[in-house]
Amino acid sequence: MGPFMGSHEIDDQVEEPRWSDLWPTENEISILPGSDYENLRLVHPETDFDPTRTSPGPIDHTIQPYVTRSESGQIFSQVQEDPSTTSLENLSNAFSFYIGPTGPSDVSLLSQHAHLGRLAPGLSFRKVSDDRKAKSTIFGITEYELIDTVEPSPGKNEIETAWRELWSIVDRRTALQLYRLYFRFINPYFPVLDLVESTDVLDGLSLALIAGICASSVPFMLYDEELYDVLPRPPSRPQLYRLCWLGITQELHAPTLATVQACLMLQHHLPANPVLSDTAFKWSLNSITVSVAQTVGLHRDPSQWTLVPLQERLLRQRLWWAVWTMDQWLALSRGMPALINDEDADVPHLPVRTGCELSGADLTINHFERLTHLTLILNDIRTTYYTVRGESRTAEDLSISLDAARTLRTRLRTWQETLPDNLRSWSRSSGRVTGGDREADHHRRLDGNASLHLSYIVVHMLLFRALFRPIKHLRSSGRPPGMSDDRVMREGVSAITTGSIFCARELVDFLENLDSLVWNAFWHCWSRPNFAMAGLFMVDLLLVLSQLGNSDSCQITESSDSNIHADAASEDGLKELKRLIERWRWINRVSANGAAGVKGLTTLGLFKVETILAELRRSQTV
């Protein structure tokens, strides 16, 4: 059974959208001059992918089929085909896989065939776009019977036992309600599934996918009255995640879109000990996710795949950017290089939705698009400062570091200033909204947008954290290379410390503004390490300011030493930072006893910061 959810529920009589329905008018697409979004473009059917593009971009999302003008900013070619016969997922007793430019299946030879089909028993090839195109992406089709005996793989008895265990943990009624909760509380922020309104939807889902959906939705059972009878003995999330992993391992020889979806869900599994960092499993799982995504061809632009159903192409596009975004944030949290090379992908940018599309009180519109825009900036910061080569260029040179930071910080500021009001809802969900506005607007809604703002704060801190390194270099070399003028150096250091204190203030104000409507909402799986990195940033800044305030730590010239002490490490700045750290520690302790602690969001950061601060105080460093 293929993973393309909803294809088996599609009514043959439903007319596919008109071309005009998919093409937004000028009033519906707004591109900001000078911003990251200026480079985003609509892809016309006759327009080839631009090979000069160096960074990927965000994608469109909703939880319903992406077929209306307001729901899609990109043109997807379409033909009137029967989805059951053109889908790459709903294949009878077979699975599909992407044929790359190298390997034993020579794609250049295959592309010469006017009509691809069965070339060997159990094996065939298929083009996904019109034969008249000079270049066409090709997929292989293999029958399952050819891989019946492949190893390593869970045995059939083990899988049958796993299915029985799944239904002993959740009955079908509970699983269906958890499926609906997933689309209510999770998918709007991380849209990797298509909603199917059918009581039979579970019949078309894999073991891994059902287990992953149920495990992800268990924390939201309290918001469904039909599940109150299950609350005394809720389904075990660890057991469900274990079944999800078992199901994934069964699919690795013949992965599908459902395998990718299940892998992304499994990333939200919390560690057994909430005060410890995740094990290497998360990073290893990320490598599996990326490999599976490439195996099923998610890294290729599907917009012109006229022989594949429109809804499936749109799902593929969203899934690719979900995988790409996950890869970037997990790489950040693990201190590892991202696994995806942007040179190997051509999935195009999509603009955010604007104007009339933002009417109403939907707090989730553009969340994922804006997240991916932000991740573009994260990617460029990592490439500039945190790759092996980037670090060697910038770590000891304040001038080069500052020059690169100016454009990056401008982009961050533009991202933050252009954030639509509906995505700033977390700041209004606190008690500051009163009366009719609260009742009519955001009262009694869980709000997952704070996870987006936390991600922004961490990216901003990541930029300043890179600028700390050449400042620390002052201790060993006296003057960073490339800074021939003491005044320029003093101004640069002052700007860095001032901006860093602003970041710390922004973090603390953000945390103090959160309430239960936010803490109980969905948080992206990288939020936990994000909270920890944000707290550790303040400790790092404390060390920098303390060292700059110590005349013995910075051997430059007499005049510049006194100026650095006066401008960059003033007592006022140091005192403010210490107050901010104390406020941060308090709000983290308080929140750790509530939903934030249950989800493990703040406990890791609190543990890291408290242990490091204790050691610094013992050594009288701060």
At 523-570, the pLDDT tens digits run 999 999 999 999 999 999 999 998 886 644 444 444 445 454 444 446
- The answer as to whether 347 is a domain residue is no
Nearest alpha carbon to residue 62 among 452, 353, 396, 294: 353
Q: What is the DSSP letter of 15?
A: P
Based on the fold, state whether residues 321 and 382 are members of the same structural domain.
no
- The answer as to whether 348 is a domain residue is no
Residue 242 has which token pair?
A: 């274990």
For residue 77, the model assigns a pLDDT of 60
Tell me how many domains the chain contains.
2
Question: With contact defined as beta carbons under 8 Å apart, do 577 and 541 qualify?
Answer: yes
Cα(28)–Cα(70) distance, integer angstroms: 8
Q: Could you give the 3-state DSSP secondary structure of residue 118?
A: strand
Q: Is residue 264 over pLDDT 50?
A: yes
Based on the fold, state whether residues 389 and 318 are members of the same structural domain.
no
Based on the fold, state whether residues 333 and 386 are members of the same structural domain.
no
Question: Concatenated DSSP letters for 485-508?
Answer: -HHHHHHHHHHHHHHHHHHHHHHH
- Mean pLDDT for 101-106 is 85
Cα(520)–Cα(448) distance, integer angstroms: 8
- The answer as to whether 343 is a domain residue is no
Based on the fold, state whether residues 318 and 389 are members of the same structural domain.
no
Domain boundary among 302, 322, 337: 337
Question: Concatenated DSSP letters for 62-97?
Answer: -SS-S-SGGG--S--------HHHH-SS--TTEEEE
- Mean pLDDT for 467-478 is 79
Cα(401)–Cα(385) distance, integer angstroms: 8
- The answer as to whether 346 is a domain residue is no
Residue with tokens 């825009």: 373
For residue 131, the model assigns a pLDDT of 57
Q: What is the DSSP letter of 594?
A: S
The structure's pTM equals 0.83
For residue 218, the model assigns a pLDDT of 97
Cα(429)–Cα(206) distance, integer angstroms: 37
Cα(202)–Cα(216) distance, integer angstroms: 16
Question: Concatenated DSSP letters for 299-333?
Answer: TS--TT-TTS-HHHHHHHHHHHHHHHHHHHHHHHH
**Ramachandran quadrant class, 478 (left: phi over 0; alpha: psi -120 to 50; beta: rest):** left
- The answer as to whether 351 is a domain residue is no
Residue 453 has which token pair?
A: 């703002």
Nearest alpha carbon to residue 376 among 342, 346, 400: 342
Q: What is the percent of the chain where pLDDT is above 90? A: 54
Based on the fold, state whether residues 44 and 184 are members of the same structural domain.
yes
Based on the fold, state whether residues 305 and 418 are members of the same structural domain.
no
Radius of gyration of the chain (CA): 26
Q: What does DSSP say about strands 138-143 and 94-98: parallel, antiparallel, or unpaired? A: antiparallel
For residue 121, the model assigns a pLDDT of 80
Q: Is residue 148 over pLDDT 80?
A: yes
**Cα dihedral angle (248, 321, 330, 577), rounded to 10 degrees?**
-150
> Who wins on pLDDT, 29 or 423?
423
Q: Could you read off the pLDDT of 7-54 as tens digits, one per residue? A: 333 333 334 333 233 333 333 323 333 333 333 332 222 333 333 333
- The answer as to whether 271 is a domain residue is yes
Based on the fold, state whether residues 410 and 326 are members of the same structural domain.
no
Tally of CA atoms within 13 A in the half-sphere of 380 that contains its CB: 20
- The answer as to whether 438 is a domain residue is no
Nearest alpha carbon to residue 243 among 167, 189, 316: 167
Cα(531)–Cα(345) distance, integer angstroms: 31
Q: Is residue 491 over pLDDT 60?
A: yes
Based on the fold, state whether residues 323 and 181 are members of the same structural domain.
yes
For residue 350, the model assigns a pLDDT of 66
User: Residue 61's domain spans which residues?
Assistant: 1-337
Question: Concatenated DSSP letters for 208-273?
Answer: HHHHHHHHHHGGGGGG-GGGTTTTTSPPPHHHHHHHHHHHHHHHTTS--HHHHHHHHHHTTPPPSS
Based on the fold, state whether residues 317 and 405 are members of the same structural domain.
no
- The answer as to whether 307 is a domain residue is yes
Q: What is the DSSP letter of 423?
A: G
Q: Is residue 141 over pLDDT 60?
A: yes
Based on the fold, state whether residues 23 and 145 are members of the same structural domain.
yes
> Who wins on pLDDT, 434 or 157?
157
User: How many residues does this entry show for the chain?
Assistant: 622
Residue with tokens 């992993």: 245
Determine phi and psi for 291, rounding to 5 degrees. Answer: -60, -45
Q: Could you read off the pLDDT of 62-101 as tens digits, one per residue? A: 333 333 333 444 566 655 555 544 899 988 899 999 999 8
Based on the fold, state whether residues 29 and 103 are members of the same structural domain.
yes
Q: What does DSSP say about strands 123-127 and 138-143: parallel, antiparallel, or unpaired? A: antiparallel
Based on the fold, state whether residues 280 and 420 are members of the same structural domain.
no
Cα(68)–Cα(65) distance, integer angstroms: 8
